[in-house]
Chain A
């Protein structure tokens, strides 16, 4: 019926472009990861899988993953409930709600780098209003030296940047729920907590799961804004995987080992993406 065009022909241009961009670097990284190779002019030597063996004993890698996991958990624990609460206030169509949703989503798509520079100006110990205001309460605020403050400032920045995404998705999901169950619950005199617990929450389960997974992956690979704000941070508290990879590349010029941890991190993200996609498509079919 629709046999007038070969699907492979339509699919090929995109495949070639993305393929060139993805396969070539990945295989090249695989090759680099077998070398003891510093970009300092000395010739590279083949060392087999020693770089991958080194990952196992590199405590900084495991520490980075742990810090990343702590960061993701903290961000999600704040963003999901907060986003849900705000979405349930703002989902109804009205002029005010539309304006508020637009205002709240303003940080969402701006360059992550500018999120970083904005928060840098806000939170620097010497010029930022945060340290100024907190000093009035006798609190010394310096994300350059206090690991606890540095970590939670980065979390606050992520909440500022991404909660609006959670809000928008939940608004869409809540607006798509059928009104009938709510009407009959009202007739039965159900409390608003019960309505939330037994109608809204189950109805939005899928949206919550999708947001959870996407936000998890995005936070885990966070780079730009953290690089600007704290870089690896005091006591390496914000030394997330992306930061560690770039640091290894730039400061040590250790290309072989850098390539190995790049591939290691890439695999972690690919596995998480695969789970996410399984969840997302499992529901459709």
Chain B
């Protein structure tokens, strides 16, 4: 019993230290985003001498970062719309129907999800120049589905597996065609699952950086991650603005995490741990 107390205290201390370790970098990026440029270069201060909104204002309204944000939103939203319908159909097929080599295909989908994006960089770079998809929104939307589609097929398959088959069978007995059943029975049941899947796709697309920075060059197509990377890579940088742009880039995702909290474990293990 003595040992239990020790374990309890040690556990709480570890959690406490790790919470501080988690929050400090976020705190730091937030206060840096309000500091004056010279204050950041001049030395380390743990609270801004004055709060400046200009670090947010200038990139958005006197530079092209508003366009980058727009591109990120367009690419991520279209990606969600593009991925959900085919993923739902495929997930249904994998969950409910038997067909030749179905397990192999399911495996093959996931290998695409796990594949390192860097390995696809060279062929895409050459291919997109040839296909006139270089520096276009469509180009990035197409390329993002390589990882996103397999991801939500696995995720949605898990959700469909959890729905009792009887419901569908009853619908078929009532004379529903497959498409009627899909629309009237399955879709309403899967609404939360589709929302969660869509949100994950949005986040992954929003987060994508390698292709975003190397396959686009102009404000007409470059998303926020690409723009931020190019800013950081410059010789002369304003660290306060980098902090502000970092906050802008991560903020929508931080909000989404609250909603997705209970699905993260399930999603990121492809349904292996529920």
- Chain A nearest CB: distance from B179 CB in Å? 8
Query: What chain B residues lie within 8 Å of A89 (beta carbons)?
Result: 11-12, 14-15
Q: Is B55 an interface residue (CB 8 A)?
A: no
Question: Known contacts being A21-B145, A122-B28, A270-B111, is A111 close to B207, with CB within 8 Å?
Answer: yes
In the bound complex, do residue B111 and residue A273 qualify as a contact, i.e. CB atoms below 8 Å apart? Answer: yes
CA distance A193 to B6 in the complex (A): 12
In the bound complex, do residue A121 and residue B28 qualify as a contact, i.e. CB atoms below 8 Å apart? Answer: yes
Interface stretch, picked from B62-70, B92-100, B189-197, is: B92-100
- In chain A, what residue has the closest Cβ to B127? A28
In the bound complex, do residue B239 and residue A112 qualify as a contact, i.e. CB atoms below 8 Å apart? Answer: no
- In chain B, what residue has the closest Cβ to A266? B119
- Chain A nearest CB: distance from B267 CB in Å? 10
Query: What chain A residues lie within 8 Å of B209 (beta carbons)?
Result: 111-113, 224
In the bound complex, do residue A262 and residue B145 qualify as a contact, i.e. CB atoms below 8 Å apart? Answer: no
- Chain A nearest CB: distance from B127 CB in Å? 6
Q: Is A25 an interface residue (CB 8 A)?
A: yes
Query: What chain B residues lie within 8 Å of A210 (beta carbons)?
Result: 269, 272-273
In the bound complex, do residue B264 and residue A114 qualify as a contact, i.e. CB atoms below 8 Å apart? Answer: no
Q: Tell me the B16-56 residues at the A interface (CB within 8 Å).
A: 18-19, 21-23, 25-26, 28-29, 32, 40-41, 43-44, 46
Q: Is the interface of B mostly helix, strand, loop or mixed?
A: helix
In the bound complex, do residue B22 and residue A164 qualify as a contact, i.e. CB atoms below 8 Å apart? Answer: yes
Q: Is A217 an interface residue (CB 8 A)?
A: yes
In the complex, per-residue mask of B252-274: 1 if CB is within 8 Å of any chain A CB, else 0: 01101110110011101110111
Interface residues of A (CB under 8 A from B): 1-2, 4-5, 7-11, 13-15, 17-18, 20-22, 24-26, 28-29, 32, 39, 82, 85-86, 88-90, 100-114, 117-122, 126-129, 132, 160, 163-165, 168-169, 171-173, 176, 191-193, 206-207, 210-211, 214, 217, 220-221, 223-224, 227-228, 241-243, 245-246, 249-250, 255, 258-259, 262-263, 265-266, 269-270, 272-274, 276-277, 280-281
Which single member of B85, B206, B246 contacts A118 (CB below 8 Å)?
A: B246
A-B contact pairs, 13 of them (CB 8 A): A4-B172, A4-B177, A21-B112, A21-B146, A22-B115, A102-B261, A104-B22, A111-B209, A114-B250, A176-B274, A224-B210, A262-B119, A274-B107
CA distance A160 to B3 in the complex (A): 29
Query: What chain A residues lie within 8 Å of B89 (beta carbons)?
Result: 9-11, 13-14
- Chain A nearest CB: distance from B130 CB in Å? 9
Interface centre among B96, B150, B249, B268 (most CB of A within 10 A): B268
CA distance A242 to B97 in the complex (A): 38
